[in-house]
Amino acid sequence: MITVLAGGTGSIKIIRGFASGPEGAEIRIVSNVGDNIWLHGLYVCPDIDTVLYGLAGILSERGWGIKGDTFSCLAQMEKLGEEIWFKLGDRDLATHLLRTSLRRKGRTLTEITDWMRKKYSVSEKIYPATDSNLETIIITEQGPMHIQEFWVKHQGNPRLTSIQYNGAEDATANPELIESLKNSDMIILAPANPITSITPILMVKEIKEQLKILRNKVLAISPLIGEQAISGPAIEYMKAMKLVNSALGVANFYSDIVGNFVIDLRDSPLSSKIGHLDMNIFQTDIIMRNSSDEKRLSSYIMGLNI
Ligand code: FO1
């Protein structure tokens, strides 16, 4: 069994790769919830939905929302004076409406996500990192703002000073998620933004503690090649957190929980320094341009003897 800790658009590729792997390999996903946001009275969980739609084969090329979706409802809301900086598609809205209605009936996010993935015919279990409220808040010179406001509404422009994970102190993990980590042959940290995708998951103390214990089975895929993120704004956030922007910086950041690290062939000069962090280093082409790359990288990882 493989459990993947995942964020949004960067993580779904490797998840799809594992999911298309050999018959019988069980894949489970632990999803970031720090990006979840209340909008127009609806509870939106972007990273859970990217995994859900990705595995259901209906994810838009953008990496979020549903393929071919339309935005009529949003356009109508705009006419009625609503701010519509977050593009919720008409079909995507069905997910948020039903999720919110189930939440109002007292169901936990874990229960709702499990119900939802079955409705979308997704066989892989998807666990929200926590059912508690945990929000990634970006502290900027213009004041604190939710990560979606910072990145989507303000397009990452306000000068960023630090990052907070509100609610992390009291966040607890679903016991089934912890059991899943314990029973996994490998735990994968997807090539996702370490600060805003993976850290909110690690802020759930029971998850972090378990990963420390299971360090030899934990494998991270670098989200960076050279000094560039493969996708998304990882570098901006890493700089704000004073991390070295390279695979070495990421390895250092994960060193207490990760015993195995996959870097790109172009980063091989970093391998001896990463090795000093007491990690097994593996080098391969880590870019996933299409589904055959997703399969290639996931089979490479499944074939590793860790
Ligand atoms: N990202 C954007 O850059 N602009 C959007 O308007 C936007 C809408 C959106 C709607 C539903 C959804 O599930 C995700 C959406 N995202 C949008 C992606 C999201 O902001 C981030 O990419 C993830 O939170 C990062 O993992």
Ligand 1 atom nearest 8 alpha carbon: 26
Ligand 1 atom nearest 88 alpha carbon: 10
Domain range for 272: 169-302
CATH code of the domain in which 252 resides: 3.40.50.10680
Give strand pairing partners of 220: 189, 261
Residue whose CA lies nearest to ligand 1 atom number 18: 64
pLDDT tens sequence for the chain (306 residues): 999 999 988 899 999 999 998 777 899 999 999 999 999 999 999 999 999 999 999 999 999 999 999 999 999 999 999 999 999 999 999 999 999 999 999 999 999 999 999 999 999 999 999 999 999 999 999 999 999 999 999 999 999 999 999 999 999 999 999 999 999 999 999 999 999 999 999 999 999 999 999 999 999 999 999 988 888 778 888 888 888 899 999 999 999 999 999 999 999 999 999 989 999 999 999 999 999 999 999 999 999 988
- Residue 157 CA to ligand 1 centre (angstroms): 16
- Residue 86 lies inside a defined structural domain of this protein: no
Residue whose CA lies nearest to ligand 1 atom number 1: 152
* Dist CA 260 CA 188 (whole Å): 9
pTM, entire model: 0.96
Q: Is the CB of 42 under 6 A from ligand 1?
A: no
How many folded domains does the chain comprise? 1
- Residue 247 lies inside a defined structural domain of this protein: yes
Q: Please, is 144 exposed, middle or buried when counting C-beta atoms within 10 Å of its C-beta (0-12, 13-18, 19+)?
A: middle
Ligand 1 atom nearest 46 alpha carbon: 13
- Residue 204 lies inside a defined structural domain of this protein: yes
User: Could you tell me how far CA 237 lies from the centroid of its own chain?
Assistant: 15
- Residue 282 CA to ligand 1 centre (angstroms): 32
Ligand 1 atom nearest 86 alpha carbon: 6
Query: Helix, strand, coil shares of the chain as percentages rounded to 5?
Result: 45, 20, 35
- Give yes or no for a contact between 43 and 103, defined as CB atoms under 8 angstroms apart: yes
